[in-house]
Amino acid sequence: MNRFRRARRFRWLIGCGFATLLPIIAISSPADADAAAGRRAYDKGEYDRAMTEWQDGADHGDPDAEFGLGNLYEFGAGDLEQDYTRAAYWYRKAAGQGNTEAEYRLALIYAAGGDHFASNLVEAYKWASLAAQSQGVWGTLAADFKKLLLQVTSPAQQADGERLAAAWRDARAAEAANGAEKEARGAVAIAASPPSAPVGKPGKIGCPGWPFPTLPCTEQFPALAGAQGPPLRASPTPLKPAVSPPPAPPGSALDGLNQALARIDCAALRGSASAQGGAVISGTVANRAERTQLVLLAGRFFPAGEAQLSVDVVPPPLCRSLAEFNVMRLAGLAAEGGLGLRLYNGGAQLREGNPIEIEVRAPAYPVNLRIDYFALDGRVLHLTPGSGEPPPLVAAETTRLFGNPANGEDWQAGGAPFGTELITAVATAAPLDLGSRPRVEPAADYLRALKSALDRANAGADTPNRVALLLVKTSPR
């Protein structure tokens, strides 16, 4: 359902006359339709809907839907209890149909263990070995994780893991040849059946962090118990890989790190070096798995120092908006710094019905201002200026409050989906020409127009275009 119509996101939207959105009917198989619908619901934070759609797709044997169910149970999304046993059941189903990411997730949860789910490093090594044979991002991540497992497993455990991986491959090949549908047997069998309905967790908020708890409820790598090496963690002791990491690309280690960060999809990241010789990475990524793997990436280019992360998880489609602002920054179209942006209450939390009052402090020169609100549904609300209005002008080094009802700016936070959203301020010495734009529009359309307008703007060396980004956490009353 259209978010702004459903949630009355801001009070001024009443009576704006949004057109009814008619469903677009596409011709596809039931499983494909269910899997795609589940992904859309998941990205919006509608986890009950995602469960329903993915269950339908999984009943038709769709591997993407099976993987989706595994994700829901692994992270305890929405009202689900975090349940690695059920997660492993569905990941194994998806892995049986060649889903590399499912193999990688199995390696992680078997390494970590959890409630009623014993850690098993042989199984972890098996799944990491299987996933590492695939090309692409998940194969690369699995290969890196397998190197870490080498530190905490014995040669006998590694041999057992490779043997089980070979048995899994042989079983899959036999299934393909015979056309049979059966699961391969592993050292640790998943005896639990898939649940017939979600398991509620009334009154339980899960582990810290949004939108999901990390694995397992920590900001660090899974702590792998074993006599062959120390637990895997981001700190305080840097990892010493058992095998040499691949060499950094030509240029400095920092250049190589930033080049690698730029290749991560739906991310806005930058790296720097700490005084202690480690990597410092800040920005946003699309999910917790990518955030965890940044420590591995930092260790590849700065193996002698401890990695420091200041990275928020912002899922699609919002992460794409942040990535576009990062592209503008890298292209020199807008500089960060010098422009202040914060909620008037000084926090970063908006509850449903709260007033949205925003303080902006101008840089050392007067600026024309644009303030926008990017929502989780992939659309942007232009707070100021409105359609046909001139942009507000803020004098040099002065602070101005926006969202004051006395000025006709009665902005209030609305309803679900809740999570991390984005408020942006763009300041330019001269007004930007973006043409006539609706008050609410797809974020991708607006960002294309904004990028073109900034490219055309004649920003001087002393009056550069500036942008400030503010992540806010929205929640029910």
pLDDT score recorded for residue 152: 80
Provide the residue count of the chain. Answer: 477
Average pLDDT, the chain: 76
Q: Would strands 367-374 and 393-394 be described as parallel, antiparallel, or unpaired?
A: antiparallel
pLDDT band of residue 229 (cuts 50, 70, 90) is very low
Kindly report the pTM of this predicted structure: 0.50
Residues 53 and 35: beta-carbon distance below 8 Å: yes
pLDDT of residue 395: 96
- Higher pLDDT pick, 457 / 21: 457
**pLDDT score, position 287:** 78
Strands 466-475 vs 349-351: parallel, antiparallel or unpaired:
parallel
Under the banding of pLDDT at 50, 70 and 90, the label for residue 179 is low
Mean pLDDT of 108-124: 86
Q: What is the mean pLDDT of residues 366-371?
A: 95
The H or E element containing residue 37 is helix 30-43
pLDDT of residue 30: 47
What does the alpha-carbon distance between residue 57 and residue 138 come to, in Å, rounded to a whole number?
Answer: 23
The answer, yes or no, to whether residue 322 has pLDDT greater than 50, is: yes
Find all residues with CB under 8 Å of 170, minimum gap 6, and list them: none
Whole-number pLDDT of residue 260: 85
Residue 324 neighbours by CB under 8 Å, 6+ apart: 444, 447, 451
Mean pLDDT of 297-326: 84
Number of Cβ atoms within 10 Å of the Cβ of 249: 13
Choose between 212 and 250: higher pLDDT: 250
Read off the pLDDT of residues 387-409 as tens digits, 9 standing for 90 and up.
778 899 999 999 999 987 777 77
From residue 208, how far is each of 75, 217, 295, 308, 352 by CA, in Å? Answer: 12, 7, 19, 19, 20
State pLDDT tens for residues 232-276: 222 222 222 333 334 444 348 888 888 888 888 788 888 998 888
Mean pLDDT of 137-143: 85
CA distance 161 to 130: 10
pLDDT the model gives residue 39: 84
What pLDDT is attached to residue 33? 58
Taking alpha carbons only, the member of 198, 470, 244, 163 closest to residue 339 is 470
Bigger pLDDT: 447 vs 336 = 447
Least confident interval from 115-119, 178-182, 302-306, 451-455: 178-182
What's the pLDDT score for residue 161?
Answer: 94
What are the residues facing 374 on neighbouring strands? 380, 422
Structure tokens at 408: 């006709």
- Is pLDDT of 138 > 70? yes
Q: Indicate if the pLDDT at residue 412 is higher than 50.
A: yes
Higher pLDDT, 27 or 336: 336
* Residue whose token pair is 């480690």: 278
Nearest residue to 361 (alpha-carbon basis) of 405, 398, 404: 398
* 77 pLDDT more than 60: yes
Q: How confident is the model at residue 81 (pLDDT cuts 50, 70, 90)?
A: confident
55-65 residues labelled b (16+ CB within 10 A) or e (exposed): bbbbeeebbbb
